[in-house]
Amino acid sequence: MTLMKKVTTLAAAVMLGCLPVAAADWKPSGPVTIQVGFGSGGSTDSLGRAIAAEMEKQTGWDVIVENKPGGGGVAMFSGLVRAKPDGRKIGMGVTIPTLMNLALRGDKLPFKVDSFDYLATVVLAPLAIVAPKDAPYNTFAEFVAHAKKNGGGLIGFDAKPQEMMMRAVNQTEQAGFEYVSHKSGAEIIQGLLGGHIQIGFGAGAHIKYVKSGQLKMLAVATQTRQDYSPDTESLIEQGYPYSVEPYFYLAAPKGLSGEAKEALSAALDKAINSDALAELITNVMFTVPTNLGAEGTSDKLKSGLHSVEELVAATK
């Protein structure tokens, strides 16, 4: 067992050992449904089903997964906010699509950032900016200088916040950036390897290409550096005050009893820190589980909304 695994396992055991008896005895009155805000077959769906299986195994509860795709999770959360807070319905989404919708059209949505009881995060997608191995720049700041000198640069993205970060940089740097939309991170990698774009965003799929030497890291797009490339500075460290934190997370309708919230949070924590989830996250996203807990998840959503609102303002 690795040191990291020992630490997370110990933390989970301590948390469970400190639960009030009432919380430890709480059980749902029927099946628990995890509603996934995306279609079947994707990474969110895969994580949701693995969590459900581990929760069943460890608690004996009946845990069902339903796919409720639409609007990057907005359709699912729009229904979840109206559900009974009895602990039998949980939603799983990704922070950035939710927060982007709240920042851009929050007045038209039936929920706010504080409309839910937050339970857990699962993993932080290791978002980064990468380039072909032979590119004549080794950092994002060097790419900006290269673009200024050579009439611009082609940037691949597959999510709106990525494009917005680059537009915000371009507004201050006047580097002549051009933005090329892609359907997936895999498509971005093929564009980089084929010489069709100069830099692009990766959210995990890029890591094996970095390790093999086919691509190189220019910057981390999250707030802190990432373990697989500890010497790569973030955009913030390179002088560009932008980041996104794409956490996979779970929430319930607001108003859960204290016993239900603690029991659900504990069951989710055990599932997230299980060997099965660690293996899945390592294989699919090339990183490790990260559960911030109920309060940490709530804080991350609230601070994340502020960051996204600042990003939106910077691109106007």
3-state secondary structure (DSSP) of residue 223: coil
For residues 206 and 185, is the Cβ–Cβ distance under 8 A?
A: yes
In the chain, which segments carry CATH 3.40.190.150? 3-124+246-314
In this prediction the pTM is: 0.82
E-strand ranges in the chain read: 32-36, 63-67, 89-94, 116-124, 128-132, 153-157, 177-181, 199-202, 215-220, 247-253
Q: What is the pLDDT of residues 150-208, one digit of tens each?
A: 999 999 998 889 999 999 999 999 999 999 999 888 899 999 999 999 999 998 889 98
- Return the closest-CA partner of residue 83 out of 106, 56, 102, 110: 110
Query: According to the model, what pLDDT value does residue 24 have?
Result: 63
Q: Count of residues for the chain?
A: 316
According to CATH, the superfamily of the domain at 3-124+246-314 is Bordetella uptake gene, domain 1 (3.40.190.150)
Per-residue 3-state assignment (H helix, E strand, C coil) for 255-295: CCCHHHHHHHHHHHHHHHCCHHHHHHHHHHHCCCCCCCHHH
Burial class (CB in 10 A: 0-12, 13-18, 19+), 148: middle
Which of residues 283 and 34 earns the better pLDDT score?
34
Question: What class has domain 128-220?
Answer: alpha beta
The tens digit of pLDDT for each residue in 97-155 reads 999 999 999 999 999 999 999 999 999 999 999 999 999 999 999 999 999 999 999 99
pLDDT at 22 over 50: no
User: Which amino acid would we find at residue 13?
Assistant: A
Whole-angstrom Cα distance, residue 283 to residue 276? 11
Q: How far is CA 298 from the centre of its chain?
A: 14
* Cα–Cα distance, 66 to 251 (Å, whole number): 15
Is the four-CA dihedral 265, 266, 268, 269 of positive or negative sign? positive
Rounded CA separation 209/207 (Å): 5
Mean pLDDT of the chain: 91
pLDDT in tens, 241-270: 999 899 999 999 999 999 999 999 999 999
- State the sign of the Cα–Cα–Cα–Cα dihedral 17, 23, 29, 30: negative
Q: Which whole number is the average pLDDT over 279-300?
A: 92
Q: Where in the chain is the domain with CATH 3.40.190.10?
A: 128-220
